[in-house]
Amino acid sequence: MSILVGTETRLLVQGITGREGTFHAEQMHAYGTNIVAGVTPGKGGRTALTANVPVYDTCWRAVQETGANTSVIYVPAPGAPDAIVEAVSAGISTVFCITEHIPALDMLKVIPIVESYGARLVGPNCPGATSVGQAKVGIIPGSIHKPGRVGLVSRSGTLTYEVVQALTDAGIGQSTCVGIGGDPINGSSFVDILALFAADPDTDALVLIGEIGGDAEETAAAWTLEHVPDTPMAAFIAGRTAPPGRRMGHAGAIISGASGTSESKIAALEAAGVRVAESPSEIPRLLGEAGVRPD
């Protein structure tokens, strides 16, 4: 099995004819992802990729004619909120929004709409997800993965790549790797993804990559202690040296006083029995200490 994406994924690429959409659609297709349609308003009737993927003017038409069930968005920030709404209103159940720099006020309006349709949004400003050996949706490099039973969820794209490569180099494979994005207002939380992993019979251990700002990691720690206390788990918190009040990287990575500090997050995770690494490269060793063996 897998979470979010897999062999059952029928992918719609919004913005498929743009530079980023074209490049990453090619990478996803090469990995084996089943791309069934693309959407670029005004370019309906064309085809994309060597697979001759049909391009439509609207998501509704694409879903009706191809049965697409998942969407990935490579639409610039001014149009991305409308692209999310168009996807879920057309019947798409899972949407990955790769676009960054979407205003938080725009996302405050979009999130309730997504929820009203019973859909799931991952992102914005996220790298997507890879179910190893099955499908990849987004911008995570396919070559760094190894099939296995460790589920990974992260707020950072680049740290995702670093940790996945470290796991692979250590012979520890992954089931699904998910980047939820670092914006302050996003569609899926750590807990949302951890709950999916907890229900996945092919995921036996977990990795969480967090950063300063907000309380998402503390909330995840409390959920972990209550729901999966016996699951081997390692974590890394980025931004230990960030001064209070200074934004570091992501829009959501800001601390104020004692709230959202690396110390509070590390303490919460350790209290829940999670091994917390001082650097990303330590995660394979910590998983090994928790009983995870190379595949």
**pLDDT tens digits for 168-187?**
999 999 999 999 998 989 99
> pLDDT tens across 232-260, in order?
999 999 976 666 655 555 544 454 445 57
Say whether both 146 and 264 belong to one domain: yes
Domains identified in the chain, total number = 2
Q: Which domain holds residue 118?
A: 11-122
| pLDDT on residue 244 | 62
Q: What is the pLDDT of residue 139?
A: 98
Please state the rounded mean pLDDT for residues 139-168.
97
* Average pLDDT of the segment spanning 196-210: 97
Say which of 24, 29, 145, 250 is annotated catalytic: 250
115 and 172 housed in the same domain: no
Q: Same structural domain for residues 109 and 155?
A: no
Say if residue 174 is in the same domain as residue 247. Answer: yes
Distances (CA, A) of 266 to 53, 199, 253: 46, 25, 15
Between residues 249 and 21, which one has the greater pLDDT? 21
Are 86 and 162 in a shared domain? no
What tokens appear for 228 in the block? 């999966």
- Are residue 116 and residue 153 in the same domain, yes or no? no
81 and 178, same domain (yes or no): no
The CATH number covering residue 179 comes to 3.40.50.261
What's the pLDDT at 265? 94
Mean pLDDT lowest among 5-9, 70-74, 211-215:
211-215
Residues 101 and 151 placed together within one structural domain of the fold:
no
Structure token digits, residue 221: 């720690």
108 close to 80: Cβ distance less than 8 angstroms: no
Q: Among the residues of the chain, which ranges form H helices?
A: 19-31, 59-66, 80-89, 104-116, 157-169, 190-198, 216-227, 262-271, 283-289
Residues 157 and 254 in one domain: yes
Q: What is the CATH number of the domain that holds 45?
A: 3.40.50.720
Contacts of 262 (CB under 8 A, 6+ apart): 212, 237, 239, 240, 242
Only one residue has tokens 């405050």, namely 108
What mean pLDDT do residues 194-202 have? 97
Judge whether 250 counts as a catalytic residue: yes
In this structure, the answer to whether residues 78 and 201 fall within a common structural domain is no
Q: What is the pLDDT of residue 253?
A: 46
Output the pLDDT for position 249.
Answer: 52
**How is residue 259 annotated by DSSP?**
B
| Same domain as 275, residue 246 | yes
Q: Is 277 exposed, middle or buried (0-12, 13-18, 19+ CB in 10 A)?
A: buried
Q: Are residues 259 and 146 in the same domain?
A: yes
Residue 55 CB contacts under 8 Å (≥ 6 apart), including other chains: 16, 17, 37, 38, 39, 40, 43, 44, 45, 46, 47, 48
Angle between helices 80-89 and 104-116 (to 10 degrees): 0
Q: Quick one: 15 exposed, middle or buried, by C-beta within 10 A (0-12, 13-18, 19+)? A: buried
Q: Residue 139 corresponds to which tokens in the numbers above?
A: 């911008």
